[in-house]
């Protein structure tokens, strides 16, 4: 009898061991696969997507890429956009925004998305946008922002016209910059501060700076950081409860490497002092950007989401583009996909694969469509009875 009992005991132990091993294996397997399945199942995106959005499009801050993301969302979700009225391409910039700069502005018309260049003016924006609008913007290191602005607006901005290089400008800005020489000088100093509607020539006094930063914080739910673009998209997507594909993009309106200049080290320090208000703005919101990101996502989860975004971008690159390298104007074969060129900047675009089926072609075209063409396209969809935007100059 004892031997029988002993035998069944051993048998029981063996079964237990087998079960334990199976459970261990399963846990291991599921753990790996839950991670793989996460984008399908445990998406951070729960609830209805946010569809009322105001994006303050700052200048030379990767904001054209964000614009492409918003335009695509507008088009694929049949939303309305607050577009520039008549033949205009901007919402009155550099003048302070007023509602009548918007085509078909109320009352009582309200739009879903507002994202073209404007100088922020909350009461007027609120005449056009609904109460529950999500406000966000993007900032870039003011030193690189100024470098980009100098190349792009070289012939347009009085302060830049008469000076050979940004190094020379920063060595003696007082010689070239005259605050009373009209608003186009806004591109030459504290341009982001100006875009938020503030005085870009104000002295950077502590109480003044703090009060304006608090204004921005009160109104804007999120400030993205251009230097951390992919992390920015991860955070934006969570806040808007959007799908991954909604925030995947190619870089649009970027310059060729040979039209990016490197500044002398002393110029970088001078730029921070010259654009002290922008520097404070950037430092403040770079800090809060990372605080928000870390409060919301474990660093490992953040890396995972950034990796997913990049993987999807690579997939779309392979699907859509002839090759991954951006092309200059003469290399872009489809004239409709040539981006607007400005100043000394060589603005790049893309060539699509020639063999795409119609549905894929439409998706890919939206991803690479330069902003003026895309705006003209949305305008015609939204206001078929109005004369279309005249963008023939883009194809010359
Ligand atoms: C948008 O409108 C088109 C045509 O009216 C329709 O086919 C499509 O399903 C709509 N899409 C969404 C997301 O509502
Ligand atoms: C700045 O511009 C104003 C208006 O054009 C002019 O009156 C003034 O003399 C200029 N200041 C300097 C220092 O050039
Ligand atoms: C922005 O914040 C990140 C993370 O804290 C930091 O590594 C980076 O140096 C900051 N950038 C600037 C220009 O201060
Ligand atoms: C475009 O790029 C090609 C190849 O790099 C170059 O030879 C050509 O000069 C560029 N065109 C313009 C207009 O810059
Ligand atoms: C694709 O689009 C072209 C041009 O718009 C059209 O002629 C053709 O019939 C479309 N093909 C299919 C399969 O829908």
**pLDDT tens-digit series, residues 149-204:** 999 899 899 999 989 999 999 999 999 999 888 888 999 999 999 999 999 999 99
Model pLDDT, residue 40 = 42
DSSP string, 7-22: HHHHHHHHHHHHHHHH
Q: DSSP state, 256?
A: P
Task: Point out the least confidently predicted range of 9-23, 129-143, 237-251, 327-341.
Answer: 9-23
Task: Report CA dihedral (27, 29, 31, 32) to the nearest 10 degrees.
Answer: 170
Q: Which ligand has its closest atom nearest to the C-alpha of 360?
A: 5
Residue 81 φ/ψ, nearest 5 degrees? -120, 145
Q: What is the residue with the minimal CA distance to atom 9 of ligand 3?
A: 286
What the block records as the tokens of 93 is 């910039």
Q: What is the pLDDT of residues 257-278, one digit of tens each?
A: 778 888 999 999 999 999 999 9
Predicted model pTM: 0.86
Q: Is 77 touching ligand 1 by the criterion CB < 6 Å?
A: yes
Comparing 96 with 325, the larger pLDDT belongs to 96
Centre of ligand 1 to C-alpha 124, Å, is 30
Q: How far apart are CA 110 and CA 214, in angstroms?
A: 27
Residue 346 CB–ligand 4 contact under 6 Å: yes
Query: CB of 363 within 8 A of CB of 320?
Result: yes
Contact 352, 364 (CB under 8 A): yes
Six-digit token string for 389: 């935007």
The first and second tokens of residue 7, run together, are 């035998």
Protein residue whose Cα sits closest to atom 11 of ligand 3: 286
Are the CB atoms for 240 and 53 separated by under 8 Å? yes
Q: What is the number of the ligand 3 atom nearest to the C-alpha of 141?
A: 13
Pairing state between β 113-114 and 222-225:
unpaired
Rounded to the nearest whole angstrom, what is the distance from the C-alpha of residue 341 to the centroid of ligand 4? 14
Q: Residue 27: its pLDDT value, please?
A: 59
Residue 44 pLDDT class (50, 70, 90 cuts)? low
Q: At 196, is the secondary structure helix, strand, or coil?
A: coil
How far apart CA 144 and CA 162 sit, in angstroms, is: 21
Q: Please state, as a whole number, how many other Cβ atoms lie within 10 Å of the Cβ of residue 220.
A: 18
284 lines ligand 3 (CB under 6 A): no
- Residue ranges of the domains in the chain? 1-41, 53-295
Question: Distance of CA 361 to CAs 69, 75, 354, 379, Å?
Answer: 17, 15, 9, 21
- Specify the pLDDT at position 2: 46
CA distance between the termini of the chain: 100
Find where tokens 């109460």 sit.
Answer: 131
Q: Does the pLDDT of residue 11 top 70, yes or no?
A: no
Closest Cα partner for 120 from 74, 61, 58? 58
- Reduce the secondary structure of 84-149 to three states and give it as a string: ECCCCCCCCCCCECCHHHECCCCCCCCCCEECCCCECCHHHHHHHCCCCCEEEEEECCHHHHHHHH
Of all protein residues, whose CA lies closest to atom 14 belonging to ligand 1? 77
Instruction: Count how many Cα atoms sit within 13 Å of the Cα of residue 235 in the half-sphere of its side chain.
Output: 26
pLDDT band, residue 57 (cuts 50/70/90): very high
Residue 98 exposed, middle or buried by CB count within 10 Å (0-12, 13-18, 19+): middle
Q: What pLDDT score does 20 carry? A: 74
The total of other beta-carbon atoms located within 10 Å of residue 52's CB is: 17
Bigger pLDDT: 9 or 353?
353
CATH architecture of 53-295: 3-Layer(aba) Sandwich (3.40)
- Return d(Cα 111, Cα 188) in angstroms, integer: 32
Closest CA to 127 of 147, 106, 145: 106
Q: Which residue, chain included where needed, has tokens 């000394």?
A: 344
Q: Residues 135-151: what's their mean pLDDT?
A: 96
Which whole number is the average pLDDT over 225-248? 96
Q: For residues 369 and 79, what is the distance between their CA atoms, to the nearest angstrom?
A: 18
């Amino acid at each position: 009898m004892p031997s029988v009992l002993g035998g069944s005991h051993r048998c029981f132990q063996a079964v237990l061991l087998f079960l334990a091993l199976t459970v261990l294996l399963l846990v291991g397997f599921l753990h790996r696969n839950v991670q793989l399945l996460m984008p399908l199942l445990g998406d951070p995106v729960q609830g209805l997507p946010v569809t009322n959005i105001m994006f303050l499009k700052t200048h030379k801050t990767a904001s054209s890429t964000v614009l492409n993301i918003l335009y695509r969302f507008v088009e694929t979700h049949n939303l309305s956009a607050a577009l520039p009225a008549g033949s205009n391409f901007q919402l009155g910039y550099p003048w302070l925004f007023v509602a009548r700069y918007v085509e078909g502005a109320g009352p009582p018309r309200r739009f879903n998305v507002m994202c073209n260049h404007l100088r922020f003016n909350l009461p007027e924006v609120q005449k056009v946008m609904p109460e529950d609008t999500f406000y966000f913007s993007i900032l870039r290191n003011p030193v690189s922002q100024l470098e980009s602005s100098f190349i792009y607006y070289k012939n347009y901005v009085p302060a830049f016209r008469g000076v050979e290089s940004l190094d020379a400008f920063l060595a003696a800005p007082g010689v070239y910059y005259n605050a009373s020489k009209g608003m186009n000088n806004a591109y030459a100093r504290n341009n982001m501060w100006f875009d938020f509607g503030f005085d870009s020539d104000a002295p950077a006094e502590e109480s003044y700076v703090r009060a304006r930063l608090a204004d921005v914080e009160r109104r804007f739910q999120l400030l993205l950081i251009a230097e951390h673009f992919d992390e920015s998209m991860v955070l934006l997507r969570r806040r808007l409860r959007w799908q991954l594909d909604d925030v995947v993009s190619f870089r649009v309106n970027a310059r060729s490497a040979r039209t990016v200049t490197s500044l002398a080290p002393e110029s970088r320090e001078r730029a921070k002092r010259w654009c002290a208000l922008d520097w404070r703005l950037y430092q403040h919101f770079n800090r809060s950007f990372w605080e928000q990101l870390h409060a919301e996502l474990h660093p490992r989860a953040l890396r995972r989401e950034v990796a997913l975004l990049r993987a999807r971008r690579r997939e779309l690159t392979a699907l859509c583009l002839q090759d991954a390298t951006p092309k200059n104007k003469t290399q872009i074969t489809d004239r409709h996909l040539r981006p607007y060129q400005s100043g000394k900047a060589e603005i790049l675009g893309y060539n699509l694969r020639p063999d795409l089926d119609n549905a894929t072609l439409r998706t890919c075209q939206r991803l690479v469509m330069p902003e003026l063409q895309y705006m003209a396209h949305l305008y015609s969809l939204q206001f078929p009875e109005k004369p279309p935007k005249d963008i023939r100059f883009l194809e010359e």
